[in-house]
Amino acid sequence: MTTKKISDIIARSSWFKGLPNEAQQTLAVNAKIENFKKDSFIYHIGDNSKTIFCVLSGRVRISVLSTQGQKFSVDDYGPEEWVGESGLVSSDIQISEIQFIEAGQALSLSYHTVSAVGKDYPIMYYSILQDHIRRTRGVYQILRTMVFHPLKSRLAGRILFMLKSIGVKAEDGYYLDQKLNQQDFANFAHGSRQRVNQILKEWDKEGIITIKDNRYFIRDLVRLKQEVYKAEA
């Protein structure tokens, strides 16, 4: 990838688009391209990383783990999403893991380089904070659902949430344009794979969501939205 293409990515970034050209160029010439295999990690829980990353291809998943090893998936990010901002202002260790669920590439920048730019142009931190707040609001919405809603409602809500980033409109519904299995849904909705399997079978019979062209396909978006507010029997 050329420096020009890297510069264009940085210029489009919500974190850095407000910077003058010379500052964006400083970031671009110091950026590195890294290759990641499927299931490899950007961050492990407990890491004290010194690098931020921008996903160039593939998808990454942010997850947290219990002390018993139970996994809860928070969100997936695709191309041109940046991660690792907390380390710019805190030396605390990572409390979540970020893993490539598809093989891909990422742009990496050292905290030292980014902090040096931020020292000259503190407006950068305002832009990063705005994006951080946007993500945090989404996490709070997810946590509210996890605490107060039954599994069927949680699952419907997470699928609707995923539609924003990986939904593809078709003539008669919406595809989730990513390879997902029932364990993925269980991790997102914080439930057992067996119970998720039962719910998906129910929705298939009711014409709400099914498998089509090897992807999950939402046939009835209105009905799926209604499932968010139903009490589980």
Amino acid letter, residue 31 = A
Predicted local distance difference test score (pLDDT) of residue 105: 96
pLDDT digits (tens, 9 = 90+) for 103-142: 999 999 999 999 999 999 999 999 999 999 988 887 777 7
- Give the C-alpha separation, 132 to 151, whole Å: 27
Bridge partners of 32, per DSSP, are: 108
The proportion of the chain whose per-residue pLDDT surpasses 90, expressed as a percent, equals 58
Rounded alpha-carbon distances, angstroms, from residue 143 to 84, 124, 133, 148, 188:
21, 29, 15, 9, 11
As given in the structure block, the two tokens for residue 98 are 């970020």
Predicted local distance difference test score (pLDDT) of residue 233: 46
- Give the C-alpha separation, 182 to 197, whole Å: 6
Predicted local distance difference test score (pLDDT) of residue 232: 52
Predicted local distance difference test score (pLDDT) of residue 36: 96
- Give the C-alpha separation, 115 to 192, whole Å: 42
- Give the C-alpha separation, 23 to 118, whole Å: 9
Q: How many CB atoms lie within 10 A of CB 82?
A: 21
Sorted by sequence, the CB contacts under 8 Å of residue 74 that are 6+ apart come out as 62, 63, 64, 96, 139, 142
- Give the C-alpha separation, 4 to 10, whole Å: 10
- DSSP, collapsed to helix, strand or coil, labels residue 64 as strand
Residues of the chain with pLDDT under 70: 147, 231-233
As given in the structure block, the two tokens for residue 42 are 């950007």
Amino acid letter, residue 44 = H
As given in the structure block, the two tokens for residue 142 are 């997810």
CB 90 within 8 Å of CB 129: no
Burial call 197-226: b when 16+ CB within 10 Å, e when fewer? eebbeebeeeebbbeeeeebbbbbbeebee
Predicted local distance difference test score (pLDDT) of residue 97: 92
- Give the C-alpha separation, 192 to 29, whole Å: 46
* pTM of the predicted protein model: 0.74
Element (H, E) at 147: helix 123-148
